[in-house]
Amino acid sequence: MGIIVQKGNVSIREMEPTKQDFSIFLKWMTDPETMKFWDGMSIHFTYETVIKKYQEHQEEQVEQCIIEYDGAPIGYCQYCLLNAAYFEVPADEYARFVSDGELVYGIDIFIGEVHLRNRGIGTQSLSLLVSFLLKEKGADVILIDPKIHNTRAIRCYHKCGFEDYFIVPRRELQDGIYHDSLIMGIRKEYGN
Ligand SMILES: CC(C)(COP(=O)(O)OP(=O)(O)OC[C@H]1O[C@@H](n2cnc3c(N)ncnc32)[C@H](O)[C@@H]1OP(=O)(O)O)[C@@H](O)C(=O)NCCC(=O)NCCS
């Protein structure tokens, strides 16, 4: 299947419109241990809504990927091209970190298999995705937007080299509460 990047036990491949991928994604989207950090607990996914969401992402050119560990699906990540308006952040804050004409990717990630969290696999997976976007896709900047209370995710992103850029107050509505987002970024110069 379409592996985009692989290192050690971890590989990242394109999500396929198959029963296998839709079913595992549905399992994760109905697990409160994932949903409380993702779309929230008040969104109820079904097999049909998983397919609909997959198709919407395809239309929006959001690249959807499955993370595999030793060949088994364990998580999900996605990436897409961004600008300030699409990312729903203030243009002046964005312009402090991104210059006109730069290629900017936004990413999201989760490890769906809960027992595999806190073992370094998220850091391994995200580092792989970052190196793919910088080296293969020519990204100038990569942005990620954890809610400020998601301290584990923020720790993981710091370990991968992301820096804190700015906070956007009340940017994300989840389960009836508006949460602040921490916009974090990593530039192509990272590691050089
Ligand atoms: C966020 C996520 C992808 C990170 O992957 P992971 O494999 O669990 O992360 P890692 O094990 O590589 O690193 C986690 C780090 O956070 C630390 N950590 C764990 N719980 C923490 C907490 N509550 N607060 C702060 N740091 C915490 C770990 O100790 C580790 O740091 P260390 O290596 O310095 O000890 C994964 O936990 C996950 O899928 N979480 C649920 C969904 C989610 O939050 N997605 C992100 C949305 S922005």
**pLDDT per residue over 48-72, tens digit each?**
999 999 999 999 999 999 999 999 9
Is there a domain that residue 126 lies in?
yes
**Segments forming the whole domain that contains residue 28:** 3-187
Is there a domain that residue 106 lies in?
yes
Is there a domain that residue 192 lies in?
no
d(Cα 34, Cα 24) in Å, to the nearest integer? 13
Q: What is the pLDDT of residue 192?
A: 65
- Residue of 118, 125, 180 with the most ligand 1 atoms within 8 Å of its CB, for mutation: 118
- The β-bridge relationship of strands 104-111 and 72-81 is antiparallel
Is there a domain that residue 55 lies in?
yes
CATH number of the domain encompassing residue 106:
3.40.630.30
Please provide the average confidence, as pLDDT, over all residues in the chain: 96
Q: What is the pLDDT of residue 119?
A: 98
126-152 core/surface letters (b: 16 or more CB in 10 A; e: else): bbbbbebbbeeeebbbbbbbbbeebee
Total structural domains within the chain: 1
The alpha carbon of 107 and the centre of ligand 1 are apart by a number of angstroms equal to 16
State mean pLDDT over 138-143.
Answer: 97
Q: What is the pLDDT of residue 34?
A: 96
As for ligand 1, residues whose beta carbon falls within 6 Å of it are 34, 37-38, 109-111, 117-123, 146, 150-153, 155-156
pTM for the whole structure: 0.97
**pLDDT per residue over 78-132, tens digit each?**
999 999 999 999 999 999 999 999 999 999 999 999 999 999 999 999 999 999 9
Does residue 1 have a pLDDT over 90?
no
Reported as half-sphere exposure (CB side, CA atoms, 13 A), residue 67 has a value of: 29
Is there a domain that residue 11 lies in?
yes
Is there a domain that residue 71 lies in?
yes
d(Cα 184, Cα 89) in Å, to the nearest integer? 12
* CB-CB contact of 126 with 143 (8 Å): no
Is there a domain that residue 96 lies in?
yes
Nearest to 39, CA basis, from 183, 181, 172: 172
State mean pLDDT over 142-147.
Answer: 98
State mean pLDDT over 13-23.
Answer: 98
Is there a domain that residue 155 lies in?
yes
Q: What is the pLDDT of residue 190?
A: 83
What is the percentage of the chain residues whose pLDDT exceeds 90? 97
